[in-house]
Chain A
Amino acid sequence: MATFTKQELLHIATLSALKLEESEVAVFTEQINTILTYVDQLAPVVIKPVDQDIRNVNVFRDDVAVKKDRDAVQAIAPEVDEGYFVVPTILEEK
Chain B
Amino acid sequence: MNPFITIKELKLKLERKEISAAEVRAFYTDRIKKFNPDLNAVLEIFESNESTETGPLAGIPGLLKDNICQKGHITSAGSKILANYQAPYSATVTTRLQEAGAELIGRANMDEFAMGGSGEFSAYGPTKNPWDAQYIPGGSSSGPGAAVAAGLVPFAIGSETGGSVRSPATFCNLVGMRPTYGSISRFGIVPFASSLDQAGPLTRTVYDNALVFSALAGKDANDSSTLQREPKDYTAGLDGKLPKNLKIGIIREALEAEGIDPEVRNVFDNAVNQLKSMGATISVIDIPNLKYGIALYFIISRAEAASNLYRYDGTLYGVRSKEAKTLVDMYLNTREAGFGTEVKRRILVGNYTLSAGHRDAYYDKAQQIRAMLRAEFEAVFANVDLLISPTCPILPWKINALIDDPLAMWLSDYFLVSNCITGTPALAIPGGFAQNGLPIGFQFLGPSLSEELLYKVAHAFQENTDYHTKYPKGYE
Contact = CB atoms under 8 A, between A and B. Distances in A.
Interface of A: 4, 8-9, 12-13, 15-20, 24, 28, 31-32, 34-36, 38-39, 41-43, 45, 47-48, 50-53, 59, 61, 69, 72-73, 75-79, 85, 87-90, 92
Given A16-B306, A39-B298, A45-B369, A32 B320 contact: no
Given A19-B336, A31-B345, A89 B365 contact: no
B339 to A, nearest CB: 7
Interface in B369-401: 369, 371-372, 374-375, 378
Given A16-B348, A18-B336, A76-B86, 16 more contacts: A9-B348, A18-B344, A19-B332, A35-B407, A38-B294, A41-B292, A42-B296, A45-B365, A45-B369, A52-B371, A69-B88, A78-B320, A88-B327, A88-B329, A89-B327, A92-B326
* Residue of A13, A38, A73, A88 most packed against chain B (CB within 10 A): A88
Nearest to A29: B348
Interface stretch (B111-119, B258-266, B311-319, B426-434): B311-319
Contacts of B365: 42-43, 45, 47
Contacts of A9: 348
12 contacts: A4-B352, A12-B355, A15-B351, A19-B332, A20-B344, A31-B407, A38-B298, A42-B369, A52-B375, A78-B315, A85-B315, A88-B324
B407 A42 contact: no
A43 B361 contact: yes
B362 interface: yes
A21 B242 CA distance: 57
Contacts of B317: 73, 76-78
Given A39-B299, A43-B361, A45-B369, A15 B327 contact: no
Contacts of A41: 292, 295
Contacts of B310: 16-17
Listed from nearest, the 10 A-B pairs whose CB atoms lie closest are A78-B320, A59-B224, A39-B295, A72-B88, A50-B371, A19-B336, A50-B375, A90-B327, A47-B368, A16-B351
B19 to A, nearest CB: 37
Interface in B342-369: 344-345, 347-349, 351-352, 355, 361-362, 365-366, 368-369
B333 A28 contact: no
B325 interface: yes
Contacts of B289: 45
Contacts of B318: 78
Contacts of B88: 69, 72-73, 75-76
B221 interface: yes
A42 B320 contact: no
B92 to A, nearest CB: 15
Nearest to B327: A90
Nearest to A57: B228
A94 to B, nearest CB: 13
A69 B71 CA distance: 14
Contact of B332 (A15, A18, A28): A18
B316 A77 contact: yes
A87 B327 contact: yes
Contacts of B35: none
A17 B355 contact: no
B362 A39 contact: yes
